[in-house]
Amino acid sequence: MSKKLLEIQNLKSSIEHTEILKGINLSINQGEIHVIMGPNGAGKSTLANVLMSHPKHEITEGNILFEGESINGFSADEKAKIGVFLSFQYPEEVAGITVENFLRAAKSAVTGEPVKFLPFKKALREQMKLLKIDETYGSRYLNVGFSGGEKKKNEILQMAVLEPKLAVLDETDSGLDVDAIKVVAEGVNTLANENNAILIITHHKKLLDYIKPNYVHVLLDGKIVKTSDGSLADEIESKGYEWLSNQGGV
Amino acid sequence: MEKKQKTYIEDIDRGIYDIKNEVRYSYKAEKGLTPEIIKEMSKEKNEPQWMTEFRLHSLEVYHSLDLPPWGPDISEVDMENIITYIRPDTNLNTSWKDVPEDIKETFDRLGIPKAEREALAGVGAQYDSEVVYHSIKQELVDQGVIYTDMETAIHEYEAIVKEYFMKAVPPKDHKFAALHGAVWSGGSFVYVPQGIRVEIPLQSYFRLNAPGAGQFEHTLIVVEKGASLHFIEGCSAPMHSVINLHAGCVELFVKEDATLRYSTIENWSRNMYNLNTKRAIVDKNATIEWVSGSFGSKVSMLYPMSILKGEGARAEFTGITFAAQGQTLDTGTKVIHAAPYTSSNINSKSISKGGGVAVYRGVVKIAENAHHSKSTVTCESLMLDNASKSDTIPVIDIRNDEVDLGHEAKIGRISEEAIFYLMSRGISEEEAKAMIVRGFVEPITKELPLEYAVELNNLINLELEGTIG
């Protein structure tokens, strides 16, 4: 049996005194791909943000264990350093710093070691090729003037460079056309291996045509109400979320 | 969630900029302002009669003018307590070897001799009231380029100095211009003859060491028809507990088809009132490019002005201002379009933190006759916390219909989301902020000569160090 990577125990969180997560339990092992689905406002993005220690979200109860240790008090950069990654739903534009320089700084920060200029450039080019990102993006300012699809591909590029143990993809597929979804899915499939795990947050099924998850969870009103295999996504596609809201739990 | 530790610091350690030397001088004026002190100083400097009279006239104008009714509070500046003239105990030298050791070390730490060897065609170094070192490459001398200190210029190139001195900035312009006219000393004089293109920059560095003193250097640059020059000016002073005053004056004359780029990094200490006046008169098809970085000082009022006098004249202004705790930096630029087909492009950025106040104050005036003129003004302000303030006061005065004008102003706080985004990639909070700030000023940094770009980044890192929260 593979190693347990993430364990979320009865996690509750609030933002500006409003409770959003109302007791999440979730366990992810190495080598697994999990999907969380749910309607707007269910708390999907909140879960992603809490996992990455967004400063506006506060954990009010429960525990997040990563490789067996509580990481509740970790800041975002500390989490990045132990191998947690979040692909943002709306990646920020940061003017004046190029994608390449940013990624080199990030790689160096995450590994704690200096990153050599030329080998990094070469590796970055290969990753870009894989994700069908034009080389010139390396010298463009981080996400500035990028289309929605380009921003999302840039997130996956960052994931490829930083090689996290746990990657959380928050609505990475939203706003993408079919071709872009394919590219993102290919990227994710290439990067997924037996030593890492991926948690995909989405409210479309489209991405799941290309990525085969081990588990699909449904999040409703701050709680996971159902967990099943990939077929659950098909069921949701045809029936919506209504029928689940009456189940009151797994 | 764990409560984050916040640290606040009173003032940053400005490192090399703050190293004070013992004050030694060969002549020091009495504190305050009287005709006797002015006459004495002019005599000490062995000036021609017309300059002595000019000074005395300026003093009268000074007494007749009030402080400006707008802008930051400068009532603390008490001329009775400012030493207007302090001559270091050395003459003008042409070799660093002859400069007194502690003064030389100061400029060494500021990187001036190194920059001179590597990247400059000429250097001037002023310490307190007078220039202690000057050099220029022989090939420029052979081409007729003059680069020397004003004290030498007034004797050796008296006719040129007399023709231009305080013609762009007359003493009656404002109270501190009049003060400057009365007590000015030091500064650089540059004359580039017709058609000569000076490819490598010249640089003057002004260092004010003595406490309670004023620095009133005068920079006069004439770039003749079709010639070009890049001039760099650097300023700094160590921290003292008493007020220092900087009321320099820069006059630039850019003749037909000529180009002048004037780059400045001012990093005064936090006890300095920086009330500096800079102005360029730009002739037909000529270009003035200002690159201006304002960092230190307690209060700065600095608005380099371009007077586009000839048809097709152009002005570019690129400015960066960084106001920290206890600082009010009121900066901007003025452009007077006084001829047809003139254009100006203004790009200003400011950063404030720790309760600092950064104000953009600017004027674009397009005169009745300046048809087909163009102007673009972009101001952006970034506030790093809730205590800091920022404001933009752009005045646009258009007197004819055939103009093309663009204006954009953005004021914002540093984005928490952007900091979180960078942190989620392993970057510390402090470095994330520095990255955002460096990125914000990047369009300016790339306009600076390399060593100044490095200095700007160091200053930003210095300013942001230890200020989590």
Q: Lowest mean pLDDT of A46-60, A109-123, A179-193, B450-464, name the range.
A: B450-464
CA angle (B239, B67, B330) in 5-degree steps: 55
- Using a CB–CB cutoff of 8 Å, tell me whether B425 touches chain A: yes
In chain A, residues with a C-beta closer than 8 Å to the C-beta of B418 are 92-94
The encoded tokens of residue A234 equal 């098909």
Report pLDDT for B11: 46
Burial class (CB within 10 angstroms; exposed 0-12, middle 13-18, buried 19+) of A125: middle
Tally A–B CB contacts below 8 A: 85
Q: Give which of B421, B433, B435, B440 to mutate to test A binding, by max A Cβ within 10 Å.
A: B421
Whether A109 and B418 lie within 8 Å, measured CB to CB: no
Position B234, amino acid: G
Dihedral in degrees, nearest 10, Cα atoms B2, B7, B8, B10: 170
Whether A106 and B425 lie within 8 Å, measured CB to CB: yes
Q: Considering only alpha carbons, which residue of chain A is nearest residue B426?
A: A77
User: Which residue among A72, A76, A95 places its CB closest to the CB of B420?
Assistant: A76
ipTM of the shown complex: 0.95
> Residues 2-41, chain B: which have Cβ within 8 Å of A?
2, 4
Band of residue A249 on the pLDDT scale cut at 50, 70, 90: very low
CA angle (A204, A208, A212) in 5-degree steps: 155
Report pLDDT for B451: 67
- How far apart, in Å, are the Cα atoms of B29 and each of A60, A133, B80, B181, B271? 68, 68, 12, 16, 21
The encoded tokens of residue B1 equal 């969630």
Q: Is B312 in contact with B342 (CB distance < 8 Å)?
A: yes
Whether A75 and B423 lie within 8 Å, measured CB to CB: yes
CA nearest neighbour of B375 among B389, B363, B393: B363
Q: Is B187 in contact with B219 (CB distance < 8 Å)?
A: yes
Report pLDDT for B9: 37
Report pLDDT for A203: 78
In chain A, residues with a C-beta closer than 8 Å to the C-beta of B441 are 96
Rg (CA), chain B: 22
What pTM, to 2 d.p., does this model score? 0.82
C-alpha B21/C-alpha B207 separation (Å) is 11
pLDDT tens per residue, chain B (469 residues)? 444 443 333 445 566 677 788 888 888 887 778 999 999 999 999 999 999 999 999 999 999 999 989 999 998 898 888 888 888 888 888 889 888 888 888 888 888 888 888 888 889 898 988 888 989 999 999 999 999 999 999 999 999 999 999 999 999 999 999 999 999 999 999 999 999 999 999 999 888 888 888 899 999 999 999 999 999 998 888 888 888 999 999 999 999 999 999 999 888 888 999 999 999 999 999 999 999 988 889 999 999 999 999 999 999 999 999 998 999 999 999 999 999 999 999 999 999 999 999 999 999 999 999 999 999 999 999 998 889 999 999 999 999 999 999 999 888 899 999 999 999 999 999 899 989 998 998 888 777 766 667 777 777 777 776 443 3
C-alpha B19/C-alpha B281 separation (Å) is 37
In chain A, residues with a C-beta closer than 8 Å to the C-beta of B432 are 77
All structural domains of chain A, each given as residue ranges with its CATH number in brackets, are 4-92+164-244 (3.40.50.300)
- Using a CB–CB cutoff of 8 Å, tell me whether A161 touches chain B: no
Judge whether residue A51 has pLDDT over 90: yes
C-alpha A250/C-alpha B387 separation (Å) is 49
Whether A94 and B431 lie within 8 Å, measured CB to CB: no
> Residues 431-450, chain B: which have Cβ within 8 Å of A?
431-432, 435-436, 438-443
Q: Considering only alpha carbons, which residue of chain A is nearest residue B429?
A: A77
C-alpha B457/C-alpha A129 separation (Å) is 33
C-alpha B268/C-alpha B301 separation (Å) is 13
Q: Is B350 in contact with B390 (CB distance < 8 Å)?
A: yes
Q: Is B420 in contact with A55 (CB distance < 8 Å)?
A: yes
**How far is CA B55 from its chain centroid?**
23
Beta carbons within 8 Å of B412's beta carbon, 6+ residues apart: B380, B381, B382, B383
Q: What phi and psi, each to the nearest 5 degrees, are found at residue A58?
A: -120, 135
- How far apart, in Å, are the Cα atoms of B127 and each of A141, A151, A195, B249? 42, 52, 64, 16
User: Which residue among A53, A73, A106 places its CB closest to the CB of B426?
Assistant: A106
Its sign, for the CA torsion B47, B50, B53, B57, is negative
- Using a CB–CB cutoff of 8 Å, tell me whether B50 touches chain A: no
- Using a CB–CB cutoff of 8 Å, tell me whether A76 touches chain B: yes
Whether A92 and B417 lie within 8 Å, measured CB to CB: yes
Q: What is the mean pLDDT of chain A?
A: 92
Whether B423 and A86 lie within 8 Å, measured CB to CB: no
Q: Is A198 in contact with A215 (CB distance < 8 Å)?
A: no
Helix (H) or strand (E) holding B189: strand B188-192
In chain A, residues with a C-beta closer than 8 Å to the C-beta of B431 are 105, 109
Q: Is B131 in contact with B211 (CB distance < 8 Å)?
A: no
Whether A58 and B439 lie within 8 Å, measured CB to CB: no
Position A157, amino acid: L
Beta carbons within 8 Å of B8's beta carbon, 6+ residues apart: B354, B467, B469
Can you tell me the mean pLDDT for A33-56? 95
Dihedral in degrees, nearest 10, Cα atoms A166, A171, A174, A176: -20
Report pLDDT for A238: 83
Judge whether residue A250 has pLDDT over 70: no
In chain B, residues with a C-beta closer than 8 Å to the C-beta of A91 are 421
Q: Which residue has the tokens 């050796």?
A: B156
Domain boundaries of chain B, sorted by first residue: 15-302, 415-469
Beta carbons within 8 Å of B317's beta carbon, 6+ residues apart: B289, B290, B292, B304, B306, B333, B335, B344, B345, B346, B347, B348
Q: Which residue has the tokens 């930096």?
A: B329
In DSSP terms, which residues pair with A85 in a beta bridge?
A167
Whether A72 and B425 lie within 8 Å, measured CB to CB: no
